[in-house]
Amino acid sequence: MTSRELLALAAVCVPALAAALVALAPRRLVTPLALAAAVPTAVPALALSVSILRAPDDPSVGDWLVVDAAGGLLVAVVAVVGLASVVASPAYLASSGASLVSAARREKTYFGALYAFWAVLLAVPLAGNLGAAWLLVEATTAASALLVGFSGKPRALEAGWKYLILTSLGLGVALLGIVLLAAGVPGGGLGALSWRALTTYSGDGALVAYLLLLAGLAAKIGWAPVHNWLPDAHSEAPPPVSALLSAALLPAVLLVAWRSEQSLAPVIGERTAQTVLIAFGLVSLAVAVPFLWRSLAWKRLLAYSSLEHMGVIALGIGFASPLALAGVAVHIAAHAVAKALGFYAATPLVVHEPRAAGHAVTGIARTRPALGATMGVSLGALSGLPPSPLFASEVLIVAGGFQAGRPWAAAATALLLALGFLGLAHNLLETTAGKARRREPQAPGLRTLTAIAGVSIVLLLALAAAAVWLPGTDVVDALVRGAV
Amino acid sequence: MSGALAWTLVGLGLSVIVVRRRSIAVALVTTQALVLVGLALHDATTGEDFVAAGALGARAVALAALFLLLVARTRESRPVRARVSPLLRAGVAVGFALTLTWLVPVIGLTSRDAERAVLALVAFGVATVATRRATLFQILGIVLVENALALSALELPGGASLAIELGVAFDLMLVALVAAVFHERIFAEFGAGDTAALRTLRD
């Protein structure tokens, strides 16, 4: 077994073991144990990520495991967001008494499901074949649905139920596409579904299979028009879980769609395969933008921003030019940092201003400057306000569209992004500096949030610098080649 | 695979869309899964095939037990009424199945009957989720789709991977268990397993 394979095994097994330990531990030890296991979980994943990003020309590709540049990037994102979500969870649990399970099992269920979700999320980018990737994506549904409905409130039950049913049904459709592919690849069995073997598909139904696969995965990624569960689940889940859903789950499943496109492009035609992704991207952007102009509850606004950003990433991988893929790499990482920070801010926000759970809030910086500043950093970065790395990544993706010979799609992207920016900029001003109301003095977890915000600002600035350095590097070459 | 067997599976799937009682729907879906187990055992030639058939059987029995337990624990004074009448539901489902059969070209399974049955059952599963309000029926819609996919795995030339088949069965059990937790909580909160109560989140 190579060192990379060992690190990959550790990256998945450590959080799985932590989930089991947390579930078995005495109640008083659950939270300390969960916090103690967070760093040991993140370290092997980050080490794996560093090992591949330092040598992107040398991916490990097998039937079960693939460690390449795109996978390395996603593993790093999942590791960082998972770590921050565990650290942010005690404040949520302390401020929210309601739960789907009895009080005695509340922490155990929460952290057990959170670690199980984290473990499966770390495995998704490393899956060496489409069948295994599907199984892992389906497994994320069970753990995360339980977390979405964790508060047990009627609205959370509604969101969790919608999420469970719609994504399970979507993944059923995706599995039908996988069966079609398995029937057309010589050899049969598990090897037929490896990313490399899919390029040898010889049946008649490749395009139908690809469309079924992408339509099914779209339901999980939250691409319009099959995104109905996304705003509900993101807004009703506990904030640390919302962060994992938006910043880690959506791009991890998107990577499966990306790998599928790269594997099937030689069979159905590169242009056709990419056009499907561009269509999903443009529709998602067009559906998201009007909601970014509205005054929505904080987490709901962030959810529609997720729809917008998943659309932008789809456009980037659809354009598939070196500039666009450099933009995609920065966009995935920067979106994760900024979006997770925004969701973590929801925990103190809802205590400080209880109406925030269901309504838009204004003037938070006037009553709680640290909280308002954190929300401002998150929303400013997500809107693409310079020097946000998301500004640089969006410029790269639009430029990449022109580079790929897709001027109309690139122009439409630029227009929709500009409209989205204006909507979010308006919300940014209102949320932070608008008219303030009388509010509760408390804002629990603000110290933890401030620490996470400090780290996030450093990461965002580093990513803004990376956006300048990344185009033309070996990492981008590796992203263009993919794992096939 | 014989045409009669394919029609039996399709007939059982269509019945799930029209019946009123949850226990009858559970029995129909379970019978369908057990027919698939019989088919798997009939065609089994290797040890892996027998293990896959055993997993399918265990999944069918475990899901039946779970769903019947749910029915017993969440007794309803009267069945949750669907949004549309049984005849219209059946019409929508059959229309969707015919459209899907027309849209999707040859899949590459061992018989055309099996391909049509797979597509029809996927359509019936989606139609069940879309037209039935009862939470348990929506879970059964997903199981219908999974039964269709189990049939397609059985009819793949060269067979499907055992690891993937076991994984699919395990994932479905996990999803069903989580759905069961939600069903019970929704029943406790609203007094019925009715998704009509779950329509407050809108923009």
What's the one-letter identity of residue B20?
A: R
Say yes or no for a CB contact (<8 Å) between B161 and A190: yes
Our CA-based measurement puts residue A169 at a distance from the nearest CA of chain B, in whole angstroms, of 6
* A contacts of B182 (beta carbons < 8 Å): 145, 149, 157, 160-161, 164
- A182, pLDDT greater than 90: no
Question: pLDDT-derived band of residue A102, with 50, 70 and 90 as boundaries?
Answer: confident
Our CA-based measurement puts residue A203 at a distance from the nearest CA of chain B, in whole angstroms, of 7
- The token pair that represents B38 in the structure block: 């019989």
| Average pLDDT score over chain B | 91
* A contacts of B177 (beta carbons < 8 Å): 142
User: What local confidence, expressed as pLDDT, does residue A71 receive?
Assistant: 96
Residue (of A451, A458, A464) closest to A84 by Cα position = A451
* B contacts of A176 (beta carbons < 8 Å): 118, 122, 148-149, 152
* A contacts of B99 (beta carbons < 8 Å): none
- Of the partner residues B135, B142, B198, the one whose CB lies closest to the CB of residue A168: B142
Nearest chain B residue to A228 by CA: give it.
B202
User: What local confidence, expressed as pLDDT, does residue A187 receive?
Assistant: 73
- Note which residues in 13-72 of chain B have CB less than 8 A from chain A: none
Between A102 and B121, where is the model more confident?
A: B121
Burial class (CB in 10 A: 0-12, 13-18, 19+), A54: exposed
Sequence-separated (6 or more) residues with CB below 8 Å from residue A234: A242, A245, A246, A299, A300, A302, A303, A306, A343
Question: How distant, in Å, are the alpha carbons of A207, A208, A213, A264, A356 from that of A193?
Answer: 16, 16, 13, 11, 46
Question: pLDDT-derived band of residue A241, with 50, 70 and 90 as boundaries?
Answer: very high
Q: Does A161 touch chain B (CB under 8 A)?
A: yes
Spatial distance between the Cα atoms of A328 and A471, rounded to a whole number of angstroms = 11
- Note which residues in 298-337 of chain A have CB less than 8 A from chain B: 300
Spatial distance between the Cα atoms of A252 and B165, rounded to a whole number of angstroms = 23
Say yes or no for a CB contact (<8 Å) between B129 and A132: no
User: What local confidence, expressed as pLDDT, does residue A404 receive?
Assistant: 97
Nearest chain B residue to A166 by CA: give it.
B129
Between A51 and B159, where is the model more confident?
A: A51
- Of the partner residues A157, A175, A189, the one whose CB lies closest to the CB of residue B182: A157
Give the rounded percent of residues in chain A with a pLDDT score beyond 70.
99
Average pLDDT (A218-239) is 95
User: What local confidence, expressed as pLDDT, does residue A189 receive?
Assistant: 67
Average pLDDT (A409-417) is 98
User: What local confidence, expressed as pLDDT, does residue A104 receive?
Assistant: 87
Angle between helices A69-95 and A27-54 (to 10 degrees): 160
> CB of A359 within 8 A of CB of A297?
yes
* A contacts of B142 (beta carbons < 8 Å): 165, 168-169, 172
Q: How far is CA B55 from the centre of its chain?
A: 16
- Of the partner residues A168, A176, A193, the one whose CB lies closest to the CB of residue B122: A176
Spatial distance between the Cα atoms of A395 and A417, rounded to a whole number of angstroms = 10
- A98, pLDDT greater than 80: no
Return the number of CB contacts < 8 Å for A and B.
Answer: 147
Average pLDDT (A368-378) is 95
Interface pTM, i.e. ipTM = 0.95
* DSSP H or E run through A61: strand A60-61
- A440, pLDDT greater than 80: no
pLDDT tens-digit map of B3-62: 899 999 999 999 999 999 999 999 999 999 999 999 999 988 888 889 999 999 999 999
- Of the partner residues A149, A169, A212, the one whose CB lies closest to the CB of residue B129: A169
- The token pair that represents A68 in the structure block: 């390449």
DSSP 3-state assignment of B184? Answer: helix
Q: Does A63 touch chain B (CB under 8 A)?
A: no
Between B192 and A465, where is the model more confident?
A: A465
Give the rounded percent of residues in chain A with a pLDDT score beyond 90.
83
Spatial distance between the Cα atoms of B19 and B27, rounded to a whole number of angstroms = 11
Q: Does B195 touch chain A (CB under 8 A)?
A: yes
Spatial distance between the Cα atoms of A155 and A235, rounded to a whole number of angstroms = 9
Residue (of A120, A194, A106, A156) closest to B171 by Cα position = A120
- B83, pLDDT greater than 80: no
Q: Does A203 touch chain B (CB under 8 A)?
A: yes
**β-strand A60-61 against A66-67: which pairing, if any?**
antiparallel
Question: How distant, in Å, are the alpha carbons of A245, A287, A394 from that of A316?
Answer: 21, 18, 9
DSSP 3-state assignment of A60? Answer: strand
Average pLDDT (A283-295) is 96
Question: pLDDT-derived band of residue A101, with 50, 70 and 90 as boundaries?
Answer: confident
Say yes or no for a CB contact (<8 Å) between B201 and A158: yes
* DSSP H or E run through A67: strand A66-67
User: What local confidence, expressed as pLDDT, does residue B118 receive?
Assistant: 94
> CB of A143 within 8 A of CB of B120?
no
Spatial distance between the Cα atoms of A40 and A25, rounded to a whole number of angstroms = 18
Q: Which of A120, A155, A165, A194 to mutate to test the interface with B (most CBs of B within 10 A)?
A: A165
DSSP class of residue A66 equals: E
pLDDT tens-digit map of A355-364: 898 899 999 9
pLDDT tens-digit map of B86-117: 999 999 999 999 999 888 877 788 888 999 99
Spatial distance between the Cα atoms of A255 and A339, rounded to a whole number of angstroms = 18
User: What local confidence, expressed as pLDDT, does residue A216 receive?
Assistant: 96
User: What local confidence, expressed as pLDDT, does residue B156 receive?
Assistant: 85
> CB of A385 within 8 A of CB of A391?
yes
Q: Does B122 touch chain A (CB under 8 A)?
A: yes
- Note which residues in 74-93 of chain B have CB less than 8 A from chain A: none
User: What local confidence, expressed as pLDDT, does residue A188 receive?
Assistant: 67
Question: How distant, in Å, are the alpha carbons of A180, B30, B32, B34, B150 from that of B37?
Answer: 22, 10, 9, 5, 10
- Note which residues in 164-183 of chain B have CB less than 8 A from chain A: 164, 167-168, 171, 174-175, 177-179, 181-182
Our CA-based measurement puts residue A130 at a distance from the nearest CA of chain B, in whole angstroms, of 10
Average pLDDT (A228-246) is 96
- Of the partner residues A138, A158, A188, the one whose CB lies closest to the CB of residue B198: A158
pLDDT tens-digit map of A419-439: 999 999 999 999 999 888 777
Our CA-based measurement puts residue A382 at a distance from the nearest CA of chain B, in whole angstroms, of 21
Q: Which of A136, A141, A155, A161 to mutate to test the interface with B (most CBs of B within 10 A)?
A: A161
Whole-prediction pTM: 0.95
Average pLDDT (A249-273) is 96
Average pLDDT (A320-345) is 97
Nearest chain B residue to A100 by CA: give it.
B185
User: What local confidence, expressed as pLDDT, does residue B199 receive?
Assistant: 79
Task: Give me the DSSP letters along A219-256.
Answer: HHHT-TTS-THHHHHHHHS-HHHHHHIIIIIHHHHHHH
| Sign of the torsion formed by the C-alpha atoms of A318, A217, A265 and A481 | positive
Task: Give me the DSSP letters along A159-196.
Answer: HHHHHHHHHHHHHHHHHHHHHHHHHHSTT-TGGGGBTT
Nearest chain A residue to B176 by CA: give it.
A142
Burial class (CB in 10 A: 0-12, 13-18, 19+), B102: exposed
Burial class (CB in 10 A: 0-12, 13-18, 19+), A436: middle
Our CA-based measurement puts residue A374 at a distance from the nearest CA of chain B, in whole angstroms, of 26
Say yes or no for a CB contact (<8 Å) between B156 and A176: no
User: What local confidence, expressed as pLDDT, does residue A316 receive?
Assistant: 98
